[in-house]
Amino acid sequence: MKFKMIILLLLTGSILFSNSNNFIEKSRKNWPNITMINKIQFIDHTYAPDYPGCSFLIDIGDEILAVTCKHSLWTGKNDKMNNISLNSQVKEWRMQLKNDSTQYIIVDKLINENTSEPISEWNTDKDYLIFTIKENHSNIQPLQLNNKPLEKNEKLYTIGWSFRDKDVPQQLYISNFVKYHENAILVQDSVRQNLAGASGSPVINSKGKLSGIVSTWKFDNATKNWFPAPCSIDYLIEILFDYWLKKNDKPKTIDSFNKFTSQYSHNNSGNFYISDNLFINIFFNDWYDKNKVQYPDDDDFEKWQKEISKEFNQQIELSSEFETQLHFNSWINKYLESNSTFDSLDEIQVTWQQLAQCSESLSQLKEHTKAIEIMDYTVKRFPNFGQVYYFRGEVYRKINNIPKAIADYKTCLKKYQGYPFAEEKLKELSK
């Protein structure tokens, strides 16, 4: 099943950003300050350990916003913070230069606060936290969003600090674009490097435009290789659109999306890149929520496609990853009706993350037996990934089988030392 995307905004074309102030073309010593580190103080006057990731600013035309990665909350939280919400626990969230603490900003409101989204492994799927700014005491240069798709082998630049970079000016790491992967971009580092600690750093293209944020690693089924996988700007744009809708009291429609992009283009002398994946995130996800579809499959997607085609001549070309998810959802629907087997699942190029997310959702629906069956299959198929034992342990914990839960958490930590969620659960169960 293949679809071709035809969006009015793309047919009319995008105005290119001006390159007259492109700092990439300058000597590195003349680059502006772009990246900061996070310093989080809680209401009890304690601080988050070390620094939980990097951060930067974006210019959306009529406002400057502060950005960091969502998974900074994995370590940058206290015991009372469990969801993507500051939960009145943060006294001050400061972003500052690592080598000059006099250059800083203080954030205000978390725009994409979501009390229903737990702090979890899945935060890296849409790995942005976006804040309004309360105070700005810095000369940090805000970035603008990339306005065109990345091309294979295009050079990308990560600006920030890893843990091994001490109090030095912002560092530069170079990579090459490989491919888009749903909400991520897969890249190949120019040289092998350990970017632990650089999470939240901006990834920019040769025009100095924001193309992603340092997030995680992902496995590519097509090449059977692992790649560093910064989050693309898709989810960032999704949140900016929601922010615009609230400010302008507009409903979420294709027409309002066109108005949003038109206003952005006017304010920034150019538009951002609109991907097929972005359109699916914004509109298809809403469609299946409204239609109360738990696991949307190929048939559901075709129904949605037909509906929007009646009024808009828009078709979507699916990524192989999204097609796999639709096929997997079809298997899940049959599995819940006892009409599919795990042997048939072997034929689908499903990832351990998709299986674990399925198990987690089944467990939330009180389908604990099926959730454990899914995780038993996942452990057999992906025995070397520590996280799969954690997620099976979570199901056991929910049905109060504490010995098996503890055993799985410990196995997880043997295979993935320091995995924060397993450590946290073991700490809780030892009280």
pLDDT at 243: 98
Quick check: 231 and 127 in contact, CB under 8 A? yes
Locate the DSSP E strands across 223-280. Answer: 225-232
Low pLDDT (below 50) residues in the chain: 1-20
How many whole angstroms separate alpha carbon 77 and alpha carbon 42? 8
94: which residues sit within 8 A by CB, 6+ positions away?
38, 39, 40, 41, 104, 105, 106, 107
Going along the chain from its start, the domains and CATH numbers come out as 14-18+146-234 (2.40.10.10), 23-137 (2.40.10), 236-307 (no CATH), 351-429 (1.25.40.10)
Report d(CA 262, CA 273) in Å as an integer. 13
Q: Which of 268, 303, 271, 270 is nearest to 284 (CA)?
A: 303
Phi, psi dihedrals of residue 260, rounded to the nearest 5°: -60, -50
CA dihedral 136, 137, 138, 143 (to 10 degrees): 0
Type of residue numbered 420: P
Q: Report the greatest alpha carbon distance in the chain.
A: 64
> CA triplet 186, 286, 338: central angle to 5 degrees?
85
Residue type, position 64, single letter:
I
Backbone angles phi, psi at 113, to 5 degrees: -60, 135
Of the chain, the end-to-end C-alpha distance in Å amounts to: 52
Torsion angle, CA of 208/213/217/221, rounded to 10 degrees? Answer: -70
Q: Token digits for 190?
A: 């120019």
Contact 41, 91 (CB under 8 A): yes
- d(Cα 186, Cα 377) in Å, to the nearest integer? 27
Question: DSSP secondary structure string, 354-402?
Answer: HHHHHHHHHHHTT-HHHHHHHHHHHHHHSTT-HHHHHHHHHHHHHTT-H
CB-based contact 283:311 (threshold 8 Å): no
The confidence score (pLDDT) of residue 21 equals 58
> Using an 8 Å Cβ cutoff, are 42 and 78 in contact?
yes
Task: Please report the pLDDT score of residue 8 as a whole number.
Answer: 37
Token output for 53: 């990731």
Question: Can you give the pLDDT at residue 14?
Answer: 34
pLDDT of res. 189: 87
Helix axes 402-415, 420-429, angle to 10 degrees: 150
**What is the identity of the amino acid at 294?**
Q
pTM value? 0.90
